[in-house]
Amino acid sequence: MTALPEKIEHFIGGRHVPGVSGRTFGVADPVSNRVYAQAAAGDAEDVDRAVRAARSAFDTGRWPGLAARARAKILGRIADGIEARAQDIAAMETFDTGLPVTQARGQAARAAENFRYFADVIVAQHEDAFSSPGQLGYVLRRPAGVAGLITPWNTPFMLESWKLAPALASGCAVVLKPAEWTPLSASLLPEIMTEAGVPEGVFNIVHGIGEEAGAALVAHPDVPLISFTGETATGQVIMRSAADHLKGLSMELGGKSPCVIFADADLDAAVDSALFGVMSLNGERCTAGSRILAERAVYETIVARLAERAARVRVGDPSDPATEIGALVHPEHYERVLCYVGTGLAEGARLVAGGTRPDALADGNYLAATVFADVKPCMRIFQEEIFGPVVCVTPFDSEEEAVALANATRYGLAAYLWTNDLRRAHRVAARVESGMTWVNSHNVRDLRTPFGGVKASGLGREGGQHSIDFYTESRIVHVALGDTHVPRFGA
């Protein structure tokens, strides 16, 4: 990894700048929990400067009007820049977030792929035209303006790219507000963007605390769009504030996704997938299958196999390529996850694996892979997003009950179904309340597909054309092709 920065500044109008107030906040790594850098604590003034720089680049610069191919070329160069720094990005992400390095490498590769993919999308973009006798209508698509992008601390670089790529591809100028716990990898973006040829002011970063910098971005009148990924409660605050200016919102929120295993499933594959689905990325994954619902006939077998495998999951130094679960992002989050373990025990769930810090790891935010069996739908650990390496297992007796249990939380982000009965797979997929359902697979996603949740998991869809629709406005032009009959009022 290149040397760690001592300070992390905003990037506004093509320049690294300190905050107007000069205030900073300490950023720590999750292995030592020691502060390694001071980041600029952005406030409304910094946000205003960034929005003004973005607005000016959008109004007077060449970016929004650039031919799709020219913008796509620059996006391709951003992807090149990410690939050239992939090792560094992965190392920084691992250092800052505690994600196991092998998984952080995958995230860096995916970030590059996001830019390549949206470069292709805009080159292939075409618009509707409607012809009828006497009238022609055609759609003009325009970038919406300055997009505010607010991102969380889990897989920060990949999630930033997931918003930046379509926003820039669409011709928007952007202000990115990265999560305050993990600002490190974003500090590579200015160099990547500048080298790739993104014009000054098109890409801006304001660091800071959510309630201050994030809230100021949401409240800014010159930011018509907010794309937010984070907790449901934060999303609700943002929606309220965005109402004042009638902003367009894309909300990717929390989840408590079910992984439903029927007795006829390939149990080896189902157990592999269920465990990976909830324990990878330290369990800090919005689409984690954190509730495993198992048909009674195979329930005890599945519990036993999960417990046995969980006990062998390698927890440790995130920079070690053998590590499967690293350190949880922040002591505050670690405490929260531990609290949920205590809650599960107090609620009477059966702890069959983990639940504590591994003996060999005295410091750092480490938790052994944790499995609770006999979890009832009324329990908090069944209902609430834990966002750590903790999974609940619950039995069911019928397809009807499986669907009811799958839908028994306020969330609806993802669902995973394991069965070899083709008809049942389609029946259940149609009845499960989730934005995304995988059958006999974990979270493998084609970038063209809609991404997002229902119920408390979100609003709107990102991915493929959905992202372009969000960052652009479609305007219809109606053209009369002959004389139009006009009623003659007052004639």
Binding of ligand NAD by 453 (CB under 6 A)? yes
Structural contact between residues 386 and 407, judged by C-beta atoms closer than 8 angstroms: no
User: If we measure between CA atoms, which residue out of 261, 320, 278, 312 comes closest to residue 100?
Assistant: 320
Task: Identify any residues that bridge with 439 across adjacent strands, giving them in sequence order.
Answer: 417
Tokens of 332: 């505050």
Smallest gap from Cβ 447 to ligand NAD, in A, equals 14
Structural contact between residues 408 and 428, judged by C-beta atoms closer than 8 angstroms: no
Binding of ligand NAD by 224 (CB under 6 A)? no
In terms of CB distance, is 42 or 395 closer to ligand NAD?
42
Which residues lie below 8 Å from residue 371, measured CB to CB, with a gap of 6+?
A: 303, 306, 307, 310, 351, 352, 353, 354, 390, 391, 393
Separation CA 481–CA 437 (nearest Å): 47
Residue of the chain from 229, 257, 280, 409 that contacts ligand NAD (CB under 6 A): 229
Smallest gap from Cβ 418 to ligand NAD, in A, equals 22
Smallest gap from Cβ 265 to ligand NAD, in A, equals 26
Separation CA 446–CA 155 (nearest Å): 18
In terms of CB distance, is 414 or 425 closer to ligand NAD?
414
Structural contact between residues 285 and 325, judged by C-beta atoms closer than 8 angstroms: no
Binding of ligand NAD by 354 (CB under 6 A)? no
Binding of ligand NAD by 340 (CB under 6 A)? no
Residue of the chain from 1, 17, 237, 345 that contacts ligand NAD (CB under 6 A): 237
Task: Identify any residues that bridge with 393 across adjacent strands, giving them in sequence order.
Answer: 292
C-alpha 343: how far from its chain's center? 27
Q: Is 404 exposed, middle or buried (0-12, 13-18, 19+ CB in 10 A)?
A: middle
Binding of ligand NAD by 30 (CB under 6 A)? no
Contact track, ligand NAD, 120-159, x by CB under 6 A: ------------------------------xxxxx-----
How many Cα atoms within 13 Å fall on the side-chain side of residue 178?
34
Binding of ligand NAD by 214 (CB under 6 A)? yes
Structural contact between residues 116 and 75, judged by C-beta atoms closer than 8 angstroms: yes
In terms of CB distance, is 152 or 166 closer to ligand NAD?
152
Task: Identify any residues that bridge with 131 across adjacent strands, giving them in sequence order.
Answer: 136
Binding of ligand NAD by 413 (CB under 6 A)? yes
Binding of ligand NAD by 166 (CB under 6 A)? no
Smallest gap from Cβ 100 to ligand NAD, in A, equals 17
Separation CA 382–CA 346 (nearest Å): 13
Residue of the chain from 72, 286, 325, 373 that contacts ligand NAD (CB under 6 A): 286
Active site residue 286: yes
In the block, tokens 């009148």 appear at 221
Residue of the chain from 10, 49, 177, 309 that contacts ligand NAD (CB under 6 A): 177
Q: Which of 160, 172, 180, 286 is catalytic?
A: 286
Binding of ligand NAD by 46 (CB under 6 A)? no
**Residue at 286: amino acid letter:** C
Q: Which of 252, 284, 295, 433 is catalytic?
A: 252
Residue of the chain from 98, 100, 210, 460 that contacts ligand NAD (CB under 6 A): 210
Separation CA 347–CA 370 (nearest Å): 16
Smallest gap from Cβ 466 to ligand NAD, in A, equals 13
From the list 47-55, 132-140, 211-219, 338-346, the region that binds ligand NAD by CB under 6 A is 211-219
Smallest gap from Cβ 281 to ligand NAD, in A, equals 10
Separation CA 47–CA 53 (nearest Å): 10
Task: List contacts with ligand NAD (CB under 6 A).
Answer: 150-154, 177, 179-180, 210-211, 214-215, 218, 229-231, 234, 237-238, 252-255, 286, 385, 387, 413, 453, 458
Return the active site residues.
Answer: 252, 286
